[in-house]
Amino acid sequence: MSLASSHSPHGRSPLRTVQVLGGGSAGSSAHVRTLTSGLVARGVQVTVCAPAEAEHAYDFTGVGGRHVPVSRSTDPTALAALRVACGDADLVHAHGLHAGLRAVLALSGRRVPLVVTWHTRAHAEGARAHLVRLLERRVARAASVVLGTSSDLVDRARRRGARDARLAAVSLPGPRAAVDRDDQEGPGTKVRAELGAVGRPLLIAVGTLDRHRGYDVLLDAARAWRDLDPQPLVVIAGEGTLRTVLRRRIEDEELPVRLLGRRADAGELLAAADLALLPSSWESRSVLAQEALHAGVPLVATDVGGMRELVGDAAELVPYGDAGALAAAVVRLLGDAGRREELRRLGGRQAAGWPTEDETVAQVLSVYDELTRVLPYA
């Protein structure tokens, strides 16, 4: 039988699936779009339960899915809407911890296979961390299969009691940035001019301005770059609760850092950069790391979570929270064109081994088949 067929065999009814989005991160939302497109092409019916803004941004209906607007809340109204949407489903696939919890609640009393993909882990401290552990345990034990986007997430699911936890094949979401190396004026000249980075190195970080992103450590490291000539410019694309705190530090310490806010052109910014920086306390399949390696932009990242598994030897990895190590790695790379070129070459080789969209869909289909014993393709 061929996965490429878009028809169900022998007139059999198509497999009816529901995809439930949780926090709606760029990675999980784009992954659901990839699955929707690939599953529909293989004869599977796909309903995507997500807020209206997610449909607007990722156009699930445009790739053949059916969108049902459901908020990310666990209030009775949202759960009732989700339960109705899952009413005739052969299988439900939730993405993220909170989506998994809502799916568990909505499917209560029904024997419908539930797949939950853990794209990342919740960042919590104190009493909230205990609550997160309880939620993880409930979702992991209720799921038929938990798919983790990195090995440590798979191990985490097993520790929480998952009966079946596996490593997920997840392709790079969205359009891939590309650096035009034949541009005689240099890649991203216009972007660099707009940012004020002409004649100086441009360093970029992308992500929400939250504590786990490690931007406090990045600002500590930026102090060491003030004395470089030319002085690098660090730009951070993202928005979040720490914006005011970070801005005050940048102004008070006169750091060469700009907060750009939320940007729709993050791929163009990355393509124009000399280095990409990822100082997070934890990462799974970081979109920025993947985009950087695809775009040929050398990456300096913290050696946490699934980062080493993702990038191999194609990035400079430093300990989390070590501003000195981060600063030193950047200085070394800026002064070593040969090493930067080596990282570009290694990055292309590493990226070539990542799952494709077809492989991602094929793995999910195989899981669905195991759980339903229905072949939705011919």
Ranges of each domain in the chain:
9-171+355-372, 189-352
**Mean predicted confidence (pLDDT) in 265-288:** 94
**Mean predicted confidence (pLDDT) in 339-348:** 97
- Please indicate whether the domains covering 9-171+355-372 and 189-352 agree at the CATH topology level: yes
Q: Given pLDDT bands bounded at 50, 70 and 90, which one contains residue 130?
A: very high
**Opening angle at CA 222, ends 201 and 294, nearest 5:** 50
H/E element, 94? strand 91-95
Looking at per-residue pLDDT, the higher value among 61 and 75 belongs to 61
CATH of the domain spanning 189-352: 3.40.50.2000
Q: What are phi and psi of 311, to 5 degrees?
A: -100, -15
**Mean predicted confidence (pLDDT) in 170-183:** 57
Q: Say which CATH class 9-171+355-372 falls into.
A: alpha beta
Residues written for the chain: 378
Q: Given pLDDT bands bounded at 50, 70 and 90, which one contains residue 341?
A: very high
Q: Which residue has the tokens 């490429």?
A: 4
User: Can you give the pLDDT at residue 23?
Assistant: 66
**Mean predicted confidence (pLDDT) in 114-128:** 89
Q: Given pLDDT bands bounded at 50, 70 and 90, which one contains residue 125?
A: confident
Q: Given pLDDT bands bounded at 50, 70 and 90, which one contains residue 8?
A: very low
Question: Using CA atoms, how far apart are residues 200 and 193, in angstroms rounded to an integer?
Answer: 10
Q: Given pLDDT bands bounded at 50, 70 and 90, which one contains residue 375?
A: very low
Rounded to two decimals, the pTM is 0.87
> What separation in angstroms does the CA of 305 have from each of 85, 290, 319?
35, 15, 11
Find the Cα–Cα–Cα–Cα dihedral 294, 295, 301, 305, rounded to 10°.
-30
User: Can you give the pLDDT at residue 126?
Assistant: 83
Ranking 2-16, 190-204, 232-246 by mean pLDDT, the lowest is: 2-16
Q: Given pLDDT bands bounded at 50, 70 and 90, which one contains residue 181?
A: very low
Looking at per-residue pLDDT, the higher value among 182 and 191 belongs to 191
pLDDT tens-digit readout, 230-256: 999 999 999 999 999 999 999 999 999
Q: Could you tell me whether strands 233-237 and 202-206 are parallel, antiparallel, or unpaired per DSSP bridges?
A: parallel
Find the Cα–Cα–Cα–Cα dihedral 137, 142, 143, 148, rounded to 10°.
0
- Cβ 60 vs Cβ 32: under 8 Å: yes
Instruction: Taking each helix axis as running N to C, give the angle between helix 26-41 and helix 357-372, from 0 to 180 degrees, rounded to the nearest 10.
Output: 70
Q: What percent of the chain has pLDDT over 70?
A: 91
pLDDT at 48 over 90: yes
**Mean predicted confidence (pLDDT) in 207-218:** 95
